[in-house]
């Protein structure tokens, strides 16, 4: 199922290009058009790369949701049921493919970031910790996308449902410090899952104190993953019966 999902991703050239290159284009846009006007206490490219890495997951989740909806509405699930293929295997294959796409996009963002001045200060344990937080985050939100894909009745609806996931990095510390935002949005920006994930990765990659961000990021991701797994399982059983 994982190999099948990866092949489907490779055949969806438009979606794959969007998931891989749109985060890079956004990073270049923010760095070269807006970065000179934003004060972060460091080089803006250094500040923004961790946020763009997290943003990749939003674009990747849209592809996952659409692929799952295509399976649910295209008749292939009847074939899988006749072959005694479990729903967990089908959805799990899509999730693993999503993680693979996001890791490819992350590598691309970091490589382009290096070319324009991004210089992380992390040692090997910090890099491993940052990758672990990222993978946990991607797995959690990929399962959210899988649940959305099971629930949606059309690929267009699935892509629309995931807009909220793609929007979440913007009212966070991804692109600007939260202190520079209007006061009425501070509470949401500080207490949503993207902010601790971004702050954890930023601290680990740049060698700055992480504080409680890592534990908050793990707690958020673990909670979202548990809820998404349960929701995907229940929705899948209801959808195929």
At 156, the pLDDT band (50, 70, 90 cuts) reads: confident
Model confidence over 31-85: pLDDT tens digits?
A: 888 877 888 878 888 899 988 888 887 777 788 888 888 888 877 877 887 787 7
Give the Cα separation of 98 and 233 in Å (integer).
18
Q: What would the two tokens of residue 133 be?
A: 């937080």
* Alpha carbon 72 to its chain's center: 22
- Which whole-number Å values give the CA distances from 79 to 2, 25, 71, 72, 164, in the listed order? 17, 40, 10, 11, 32
Angle at 77 between CA 56 and CA 69, to 5 degrees: 35
128: Cβ–Cβ under 8 A, 6 or more apart, which residues? none
Contacts 24+ apart (CB under 8 A), 230-237: 231/147, 232/91, 232/143, 232/146, 232/147, 232/150, 233/87, 233/88, 235/147, 235/150, 235/151, 236/87, 236/91, 236/150, 237/87
Model confidence over 93-138: pLDDT tens digits?
A: 989 988 888 888 888 888 998 998 888 888 888 889 999 999 999 9
Residue 145 pLDDT > 80: yes
φ, ψ dihedrals at 208, nearest 5°: -105, 165
- State residue 84's pLDDT score: 76
CB 60 within 8 A of CB 104: no
- State residue 195's pLDDT score: 92
Judge residue 78's burial from the number of C-beta atoms within 10 Å of its C-beta, 0-12 exposed, 13-18 middle, 19 or more buried. Answer: exposed
DSSP for residue 35: G
- State residue 124's pLDDT score: 86
Residue 217 pLDDT > 90: yes
Q: How many helices (H) and strands (E) does the chain have?
A: 11, 0
Residue 22 pLDDT > 90: no
φ, ψ dihedrals at 169, nearest 5°: -65, -25
Predicted TM-score (pTM) of this structure: 0.89
- Mean pLDDT, to the nearest integer, of 206-219? 89
Mean pLDDT value across the chain: 86
Give the Cα separation of 106 and 230 in Å (integer).
28
């Amino acid at each position: 199922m994982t190999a099948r999902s990866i092949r489907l991703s490779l055949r969806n050239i438009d979606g794959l290009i969007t998931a891989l290159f749109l985060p890079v284009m956004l990073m270049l846009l923010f760095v070269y058009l807006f970065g000179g006007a934003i004060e972060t206490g460091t080089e803006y490219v250094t500040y923004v790369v961790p946020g763009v890495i997290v943003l990749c997951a939003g674009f990747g989740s849209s592809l996952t949701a659409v692929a799952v909806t295509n399976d649910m509405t295209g008749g292939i699930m009847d074939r899988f049921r006749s072959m005694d293929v479990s729903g967990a295997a089908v959805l799990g294959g899509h999730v693993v493919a999503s993680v693979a796409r996001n890791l490819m996009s992350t590598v691309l963002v970091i490589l382009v970031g290096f070319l324009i001045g991004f210089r992380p200060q992390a040692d090997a344990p910090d890099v491993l910790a940052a990758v672990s937080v990222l993978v946990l985050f991607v797995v959690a939100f990929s399962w959210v996308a899988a649940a959305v894909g099971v629930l949606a009745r059309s690929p267009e609806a699935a892509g629309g449902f995931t807009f909220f996931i793609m929007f979440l990095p913007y009212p966070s510390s991804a692109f600007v410090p939260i202190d520079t935002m209007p006061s009425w949005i501070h509470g949401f920006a500080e207490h949503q899952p993207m902010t601790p994930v971004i702050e954890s990765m930023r601290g680990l990659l740049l060698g700055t104190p992480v504080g409680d961000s890592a534990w908050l990021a793990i707690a958020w991701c673990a909670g979202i993953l548990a809820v998404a797994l349960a929701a995907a399982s229940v929705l899948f059983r209801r959808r195929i019966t």
